A and B are shown apart, each in its own frame.
Chain A
Amino acid sequence: AQKVTQAQTEISVVEKEDVTLDCVYETRDTTYYLFWYKQPPSGELVFLIRRNSFDEQNEISGRYSWNFQKSTSSFNFTITASQVVDSAVYFCALNGNTGKLIFGQGTTLQVKP
């Protein structure tokens, strides 16, 4: 069975703080893909990043960075110098051999000015 756990239900930070969103996954597949999506207050789901199971290099995109550690089955997401516009629900997701994209419960991030 595949499972994604985002233990942090809600996080609140003050603007300019760094924040890390945790994601732990379970799968028996040797090949799989991990994703992060953002859901702003307007409700749409926006793709942020995809990472395959064979690529453990960390990735940085502007203020966003991702840390994939296969040894701990984690794919954490860090926002540096957070901004109010980063306030959203963030979902981690897993796609294994079944082709089904399974989402975690999401972490609500509130960035206060």
Chain B
Amino acid sequence: DAGVIQSPRHEVTEMGQEVTLRCKPISGHNSLFWYRQTMMRGLELLIYFNNNVPIDDSGMPEDRFSAKMPNASFSTLKIQPSEPRDSAVYFCASREGFANTGELFFGEGSRLTVL
């Protein structure tokens, strides 16, 4: 079975440009999570969805960040405009069910570099 699929794997862009990261969760999983990983701040939860509905976006750093989940098989994380401090690895993860019992399955991550 396919795992969580993220694209692009690597993105290099210039400050001010719009960046869109994409995620396809594991089929049948009801919850989807976006994390950001940096050396300074570690793994931070940005936002998570249950049944395509955003449940908690308190980790989204600023209005420049937005996330959508138009259907059960696709989510995007958009940064507009991007800044150098947004450089990080962005992970998408999915989980079966809504409860806190299950483990998260992570994608391979999207490494973003903003120049």
* A and B found bound together: yes
Q: Which residues does A use to contact B, with CB under 8 Å?
A: 31-33, 35, 37, 43-45, 47, 50, 52, 91, 95-106
B31's partner among A50, A98, A99 (CB-CB below 8 A) is A99
Which residues from 71 to 106 on chain B have a C-beta closer than 8 Å to any C-beta of chain A? 89, 91, 93, 98-106
A-B contact count (CB 8 A): 51
For the residues of A in contact with B, the DSSP-based class is: loop
With A32-B100, A95-B100, A96-B100: A101-B105 Cβ-Cβ less than 8 Å: no
With A44-B106, A44-B108: A103-B101 Cβ-Cβ less than 8 Å: no
With A99-B48, A99-B50, A99-B98: A47-B43 Cβ-Cβ less than 8 Å: no
For the complex formed, measure the closest distance between the CB of A106 and the CB atoms of chain B, giving whole angstroms. Answer: 6
- Tell me the bound Cα distance from A98 to B50 in angstroms: 12
**Is B56 close to A, CB under 8 A?**
yes
A43's partner among B45, B89, B101, B104 (CB-CB below 8 A) is B89
In the assembled complex, which residues on chain A have CB atoms less than 8 Å from the CB atom of B45?
100-102
In the assembled complex, which residues on chain A have CB atoms less than 8 Å from the CB atom of B109?
43-44
Is there an interface contact between B104 and A101, defined as CB atoms closer than 8 Å?
Answer: yes
Is there an interface contact between B106 and A45, defined as CB atoms closer than 8 Å?
Answer: yes
**Is B70 close to A, CB under 8 A?**
no
